[in-house]
Amino acid sequence: MMMFPMAFGFMWMIIPILLFTLGVAVLLWVGVRVFRRVFTDHFSNSERTAVRILQERYARGEIDEEEYHSRMKHLKEN
């Protein structure tokens, strides 16, 4: 009868370590996802915005076809 409580005593030492490790892993996972989303959105949105503005200016007739293609080529190089 004495061995039974000892087995559960050992588990109570392991559970906090597992919970702490799980918490750190979840925080790292959330941090990576947030960082990746912010980093990706920042650069992809700025590129899409530049292309969209260029297309709008061309559609309104503010720039000619030659300038449009020149600027589009420059945007795609960077």
* Structure confidence by residue, pLDDT tens digits, 40-70: 766 666 666 888 899 999 999 999 999 999 9
pLDDT at 11 over 90: no
- Mean pLDDT computed over every residue of the chain: 84
Secondary structure (DSSP) of 15-48? HHHHHHHHHHHHHHHHHHHHHHHHHHHHHHHHHH
Instruction: Tell me which residue of 4, 25, 22 sits closest to 14, measured CA to CA.
Output: 22
pLDDT, residue 55, reads: 92
- The whole-model pTM stands at 0.45
pLDDT, residue 73, reads: 93
pLDDT at 8 over 90: no
